[in-house]
Amino acid sequence: MERLKHDLVIVGSGIAGLRAAIEASRVSPSLSVAIVTKVQAMRSHSVCAEGGTAAVLYPELGDTVESHVFDTVKGSDYLADQDAVERFASMIPSEVYQLEHWGMPWSRREDGRIAQRDFGGYSHPRATFAEDKVGFYEMQTLYDTCTKFPNIVFYQEWFATSILVEQGEFGGITAIEMKSGEFASIAAKARIIASGGAGRLFSFATYGHSSTPDGMSMALRAGIALKDMEFFQFHPSGLIPSGILITEGARAEGGVLLNKDGERFMKRYAPGKLELASRDVVSRAIITEIEEGRGFRDGDGLEYVHLDLTPIGAQKIKERLNGIRELAMKFNDTDPIERPLPVRPVCHYTMGGIDVDIGGATRVKGLWAAGEAACVSINGANRLGANSTAECLVWGRITGAAAAEYAMKRSDTSPSDGQAAKEEKRIFDEIFHGKGGTNPYEVRDELQRAMDEGAYVFRTGEGMAEAIRVVKRLKAQDYLHCDDSSRRYNTNLTNVLEVESLLLAAEAFLAGAMARTESRGAHSRRDYPRRDDVNWLKHTLAYHTAEGVRLDYSPVKITRFQPAERHY
Catalytically active residues are 235, 251
Distance CA 75, CA 17 (A): 26
Distance in angstroms (rounded) separating the CA atoms of residues 10 and 479: 30
Residue 518 to residue 522: CA distance in whole angstroms: 11
Measured CA to CA, the distance from residue 458 to residue 427 in angstroms comes to 38
For residue 212, CA distances in Å to 218, 262, 478, 541 come to 12, 38, 20, 20
Q: Are 392 and 371 in contact (CB under 8 A)?
A: yes
How far apart CA 359 and CA 344 sit, in angstroms, is 36
Q: Is the dihedral of CA 363, 367, 372, 376 positive or negative?
A: positive
Cross-strand bridge partners of residue 525? 459
Of 35, 312, 59, 78, nearest to 194 by C-alpha is 35
Say if residues 302 and 240 touch (Cβ distance below 8 Å): yes
Other Cβ atoms closer than 10 A to 476: 9
Burial 438-455 (b: 16+ CB within 10 A, else e): eebeebbebbbebbbebb
Please list, in sequence order, all residues whose beta carbon lies within 8 angstroms of the beta carbon of residue 280, skipping any fewer than 6 positions away: 77, 233, 234, 381, 382, 521, 522, 524
Residue 232 φ/ψ, nearest 5 degrees: -110, 135
Task: Of 326, 285, 281, give the one whose Cα is nearest residue 305.
Answer: 285
473 Cα distance to chain centroid: 27
Instruction: Report which residue type is found at 418.
Output: G
